[in-house]
């Protein structure tokens, strides 16, 4: 079932980028119709990412609410919600990496490529191939809920809204808050649970799990460092928006 979900996710992701997003955007947004080809590619890709993030974040949240097996001290448990989400992630990440490769000059950012590779690898190794620590994997998927606001901020810019405009400032502050809640504030919770709740379990020390643990810990560290770096840049951008708004208010 999961290979089929990967293929469907791949196909739908490509369709959103090249068919659905361009057609719908051209019909409903005059700003989109006036964009350069490069900015249209960026716009379409952000709609794709937003759709994927909403689906994945909703699945992760639903999993926490409905799946009683997702607990921080459970070593081995296969969550069907998380496995479906991981399959969607893999299909989307592969499609988006190919899209980035095809349109490298328009979309490529090294950190985003690194993020896609790490996320896909984590989902394959720790989500689909291994029934280990699915609570913590689901926490990573929940972090996707911050992405739509990131892309909305960029879409506002492409639509002609300045950094000082109230919609832009409000979106920047909402994004900063959401990013902190689902990506930064969860870091100490994740590592506390891993060290003090998961590792003491007798089953944790089984030899056949050693490689999976090493991979999961290494990828988790890299992702969390990226989150902290991104949060720093997000705070700087939010500060710039607020300062721009203050200058506009003083002029009036």
| DSSP 3-state of 164 | coil
> Given this model, what pLDDT does residue 108 score?
61
Distance CA 125, CA 131 (A): 9
Task: Report the chain's mean pLDDT, rounded to a whole number.
Answer: 89
> Given this model, what pLDDT does residue 247 score?
77
Q: Is the pLDDT assigned to residue 252 strictly greater than 70? A: no
Q: Is the pLDDT assigned to residue 132 strictly greater than 90? A: no
What is this structure's pTM? 0.88
pLDDT tens-digit profile of 74-127? Answer: 999 989 998 999 999 999 999 999 988 887 766 667 777 887 888 888 788 778
Paired tokens of 112:
């985003």
Judge whether 116 and 98 are in contact, CB under 8 Å: no
Distance CA 64, CA 82 (A): 10
pLDDT tens-digit profile of 163-201? Answer: 888 888 899 999 999 999 999 999 999 999 999 999 999
Burial track 28-62 (b if 16+ CB lie within 10 A, e otherwise): eeebbeebeeebbbbbbbbbbbbbbbebbbebbbe
Nearest to 87 by CA among 183, 182, 8, 146: 8
Nearest to 176 by CA among 235, 239, 105, 97: 235
Q: Is the pLDDT assigned to residue 248 strictly greater than 90? A: no
Measured at the alpha carbon of residue 51, what is the angle toward residues 216 and 45, in degrees to the nearest 5? 90
Provide mean pLDDT across the span 219-232: 91
Judge whether 162 and 168 are in contact, CB under 8 Å: yes
Distance CA 142, CA 57 (A): 5
| Distances, alpha carbon 139 to alpha carbons 21, 33, 100, 226, in Å | 29, 38, 26, 16
> Given this model, what pLDDT does residue 55 score?
95
The radius of gyration of the chain's CA atoms, rounded to the nearest angstrom, is 20
């Amino acid at each position: 079932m999961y290979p089929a979900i990967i293929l469907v996710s791949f196909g739908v992701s490509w369709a959103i980028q090249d068919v659905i997003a361009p057609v719908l955007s051209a019909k409903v947004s005059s700003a989109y119709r006036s964009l350069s080809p490069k900015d249209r590619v960026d716009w379409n890709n952000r709609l794709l990412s937003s759709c994927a993030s909403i689906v994945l974040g909703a699945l992760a949240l639903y999993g926490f609410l409905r799946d009683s097996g997702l607990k921080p001290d459970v070593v081995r448990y296969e969550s069907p919600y998380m496995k479906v989400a991981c399959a969607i992630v893999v299909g989307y990440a592969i499609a988006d990496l190919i899209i980035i490769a095809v349109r490298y000059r328009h979309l490529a950012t090294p950190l985003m490529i690194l993020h896609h590779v790490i996320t896909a690898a984590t989902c394959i190794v720790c989500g689909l191939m291994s029934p280990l620590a699915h609570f913590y994997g689901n926490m990573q998927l929940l972090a996707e809920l911050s992405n739509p606001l990131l892309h909305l901020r960029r879409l506002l810019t492409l639509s002609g809204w300045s950094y000082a405009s109230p919609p832009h400032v409000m979106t920047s502050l909402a994004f900063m808050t959401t990013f902190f809640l689902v990506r930064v504030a969860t870091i100490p919770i994740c590592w506390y649970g891993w060290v003090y709740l998961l590792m003491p379990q007798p089953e944790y020390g089984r030899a056949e799990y050693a490689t999976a643990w090493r991979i999961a810990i290494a990828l988790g560290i890299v992702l969390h460092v990226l989150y902290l770096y991104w949060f720093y840049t997000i705070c700087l951008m939010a500060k710039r928006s607020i300062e721009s708004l203050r200058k506009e208010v003083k002029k009036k």
